[in-house]
Amino acid sequence: MKATAKAHTNIALIKYWGKRDEALILPTNNSLSVTLDGFYTTTTVSYKPELTKDTFTLNDEVVVGEQYNRVTNFLNKVRDIAGKQLYAEVKSINAVPTAAGFASSASGFAALAAAATKAIGLSLTESELSRLTRQGSGSACRSIFGGFAEWQKGEMEDGSDSFAVPVAPKDHWDIRVAAVVLNAKMKKVSSRSGMKRTVETSPFFKGWVESIPSDLEAIKQGILERDFHKVGEVAEANCLKMHATTLGANPPFTYWLDTTMSVMQTVQELRSTGVPAYFTIDAGPNVKVLYLPQDEEKVLETLRNISGVTDVRLSRVGQGIKYLEDEELV
């Protein structure tokens, strides 16, 4: 009873920011993302009768505390669905900076969900797997799919209609994403606590939610028509609106560093010189820059020359869940 799955992280172009149900991880708004090939998690789950509790290693280090609890709580959901009370050995390798605004939980829980369900003998559809994955990490439900995916917030109280659906496949459009690494350390305010504080205290939150449907309609049209300027403009504005809500929270907070602002200004300067590039930022200091293949050399050189930038990692549009055999892990 063993399976290995590889999942890629995703970057939200229309942000997920706010829950209507904390326990079930049900969002206040739909979100839309692109899956990235450069950041991923590979997870092997082995159910073993001799185990008396779950074990979890990440990058060959034993994990305890809150991270371990999130994994074992998720495995409890898988065991309940399967009707089997077997403990698991979970081994994950993360090619993502953990908890620095690089959506490490997205690829992590997508890979965990895929490997855990397959290993225990469940055969789920992509929609069912996405709905289950959402209960580990909200954004992870979008990483079930490659290309562009939309997480539908749903209306049902039990969350049965809240899962991701594909918008366009991996091969639909060759856009690129440069992940600009400023600070790979853990965040002072986690996504979960920051989101909760914003929902409960920010007067700007209501306006944020009300702006989503028009953003979503515009960006989906842009993706389907391969209109880079439209997609970039909507994504950048949506990102700035999301981060504005944190400044209105009580107490106020921001994920940005001074270098974050430098990257944002540099991207805008690139545009003024005729290079189409747009930024988006999740709940962290690091910036992701959208650009087209023909501009890669110019964009890369410009970003690497910014003071305070420690690395620039390039991605293309990535694939959805992939199940690996033992020989592929070598």
DSSP secondary structure string for all residues of 137-173 = -GGGGGGGSSSEEEE---S-TT-TT--EEEEE-GGG-
Residues 319 and 37 sit within 8 Å (Cβ to Cβ): yes
131: pLDDT strictly greater than 50: yes
Residues 89 and 58 sit within 8 Å (Cβ to Cβ): no
323-327: long-range contacts (C-beta < 8 A, 24 or more apart)?
323/3, 323/4, 323/5, 323/6, 323/114, 323/115, 323/118, 324/4, 324/5, 324/6, 324/42, 325/4, 326/4
DSSP 319: P
Residues 280 and 264 sit within 8 Å (Cβ to Cβ): no
Q: What is the pLDDT of residues 1-45, one digit of tens each?
A: 999 999 999 999 999 999 999 999 999 999 999 999 999 999 999
264: pLDDT strictly greater than 60: yes
Write down the pLDDT at residue 96: 72
The better pLDDT of the pair 182, 171 is held by: 171
Amino acid at 117: T
SS3 content of the chain, % helix, strand, coil (to 5): 40, 25, 35
**Average pLDDT, stretch 185-210?**
91
In DSSP notation, 242-258 reads HHHHHHTSSS------H
Tokens coding 94: 């993360």
Helix (H, G, I), strand (E, B) or coil at 127: helix
**Average pLDDT, stretch 173-182?**
95
Residues 6+ apart with CB under 8 A from 25: 19, 134, 135, 136, 137, 138, 159
330: pLDDT strictly greater than 70: no
Write down the pLDDT at residue 98: 54
Write down the pLDDT at residue 105: 87
What are residue 94's phi and psi, to 5 degrees? -105, 115
Question: Mind spelling out the 3-state secondary structure of 35-51?
Answer: EEEEEEEEEEEEECCCC
Q: What is the pLDDT of residues 74-130, one digit of tens each?
A: 999 999 999 999 999 999 999 876 544 455 789 999 999 999 999 999 999 999 999
The terminus-to-terminus CA distance of the chain in angstroms comes to 20
Among left, alpha and beta (phi > 0; psi -120 to 50; other), residue 120 is alpha
Task: Please state, in angstroms and rounded to a whole number, the distance separating the CA atoms of residues 135 and 163.
Answer: 10
Q: What is the pLDDT of residues 270-328, one digit of tens each?
A: 999 999 999 999 998 999 999 999 999 999 999 999 999 998 999 999 999 999 986 45
Residues 6+ apart with CB under 8 A from 104: 9, 41, 94, 96, 97, 98
State the average pLDDT for the chain: 94
